[in-house]
Amino acid sequence: MSAATLSTPLGAGDSTVRRRPARRVLPGFNLTLGYTVLYLSLIVLIPLSALVFKTFTLTWEQFWAAISGPRVLASYRLTFGASLIAALVNVFFGLLVAWVLVRYSFPGKKIVDALVDLPFALPTAVAGISLTALLAGNGWVGQYLEPLGIQLAFKPAGVVIALIFIGLPFVVRTVQPVLEDAEKELEEAATCLGATRWQTFTKVIFPTIAPALLTGFAMAFARAIGEYGSVIFIAGNMPMVSEITPLIIIGKLEQYDYAGATAVAVVMLVISFILLLVINALQAWQRRRSGASS
């Protein structure tokens, strides 16, 4: 996905609130809504319900055993830990990149701006093998790190690197428009009232962009948890050490343990649902914030 796209508020857009209710002069409501619901059911809802029904074939004990084996627990720790670290790094650097793109001008800015979306456009498998090649002992970056005793490829640290790559645009693309719309008058007022630049940033600018930053964090985190393609090449995939949860699902599938794979998948699906709800709530908060200030 895509975060450039994800970040745009959907549904209760404030533009629809202000307009008086449409009297359905336009034709095609039944056709388009019917098709939307039909297609959504066929492609998304019915297949997802297959996952839930498959879980019901397991007893509670079997289900619990499948989702709490030591190897599975280790994979949760890695997946959530690495996703959390990567999302935090992205909050910092994402804000930095968004700030630099909005507030300063420098040669090549348009190219840098376009390049931020590279992780959306570059297939994850390509990103995976390329990052591995860079960080391996003989790679462009790895050759300088190896003498220092730092090895990133085929280690949990490599997972974090891949997830930073994947998550960066989510933070930049949510923070950038908010930063663009932020009113400079407030900063001028703060300066006139004697605030230092740092105080203005922490007390005036940061509260404005905090909801967007949090939304970007949640999106990067949600994407990182499900990520597969870019991670498996760089992780080394050692059981208990550098095996991510999606790989556990694949591993169970390859042993024809469909029920076990489904159980772990349900856990991941529930977590995705929760994160989706959190992101929706954050976006609603962000809209209220920006609505209140304008």
Partner 1 sequence: MSSTPIIWRARAGTTEPAWVKYSLIGLALGFIFLFLVLPLAAVFTEALRKGWSTYWEALREPDAWSAIRLTLITAAVAVPLNLVFGIAAAWAIAKYEFRGKAFLTTLVDLPFSVSPVVAGLIYVLMFGAQGWFGPWLMAHDIKIVFAVPGIVLATVFVTFPFIARELIPLMQAQGNEEEQAAIVLGATGWQTFWYVTLPNIKWGLIYGVILCNARAMGEFGAVSVVSGHIRGQTNTLPLHVEILYNEYQSVAAFAVASLLALLALVTLVIKSVAEWLHERDMKAIADLPPERPLAEPAPALAASATH
CA distances from 35 to 25, 41, 173 (A): 20, 10, 31
Q: Per CB under 8 A, does 120 bind partner 1? A: yes
CB of 292 to partner 1, least distance (A): 17
Q: Per CB under 8 A, does 145 bind partner 1? A: no
Q: Per CB under 8 A, does 117 bind partner 1? A: yes
Range 98-106 contact pairs with CB under 8 angstroms and sequence separation of 24 or more = 98/171, 98/172, 98/175, 98/176, 98/179, 99/179, 101/172, 101/176, 102/176, 102/179, 102/180, 103/179
Q: Per CB under 8 A, does 122 bind partner 1? A: yes
Q: Which of 84, 85, 88, 134 binds partner 1 (CB under 8 A)?
A: 134
Binders in 9-68 for partner 1, by CB under 8 A: 9-13, 15-16, 19, 21-22, 24-29, 31-33, 35-37, 39-40, 43-48, 50-51, 54
CB of 128 to partner 1, least distance (A): 8
Q: Per CB under 8 A, does 146 bind partner 1? A: no
Cβ contacts of residue 282 below 8 Å, gap of 6+? 211, 214, 215, 218
Q: Per CB under 8 A, does 4 bind partner 1? A: yes
Q: Which of 80, 113, 236, 237 binds partner 1 (CB under 8 A)?
A: 113
Local structure of residue 148 (DSSP, 8 states): G
Binders in 161-200 for partner 1, by CB under 8 A: 164-165, 168, 173-174, 176-177, 180, 184, 187-188, 190-192, 197, 200
CB of 60 to partner 1, least distance (A): 20
Q: Per CB under 8 A, does 238 bind partner 1? A: no
Q: Which is nearer to partner 1, 156 or 169 (CB)?
A: 169
Nearest-5° Cα angle at 248, 153 to 232: 25
First to last CA, the chain: 30
Q: In terms of Cα–Cα distance, which of 197, 214, 194 is closest to 205?
A: 197
Q: Which of 66, 131, 220, 263 binds partner 1 (CB under 8 A)?
A: 131
Asked if 241 and 26 count as a contact pair (C-beta separation under 8 A), the reply is no
Stretch that binds partner 1, among 1-9, 59-67, 145-153, 235-243 (CB under 8 A): 1-9
Binders in 241-280 for partner 1, by CB under 8 A: 246, 249-250, 253, 258, 261-262, 265, 268-269, 272-273, 275-276, 279-280
Q: Which is nearer to partner 1, 23 or 292 (CB)?
A: 23
Q: Which is nearer to partner 1, 40 or 73 (CB)?
A: 40
What is the spatial distance between Cα 35 and Cα 253, in angstroms, rounded to a whole number?
Answer: 33
* Burial class of residue 179, CB neighbours in 10 A (0-12, 13-18, 19+): middle
CB of 201 to partner 1, least distance (A): 9
What is the spatial distance between Cα 2 and Cα 220, in angstroms, rounded to a whole number?
Answer: 10
Local structure of residue 272 (DSSP, 8 states): H
What is the spatial distance between Cα 67 and Cα 76, in angstroms, rounded to a whole number?
Answer: 10
CB of 237 to partner 1, least distance (A): 11
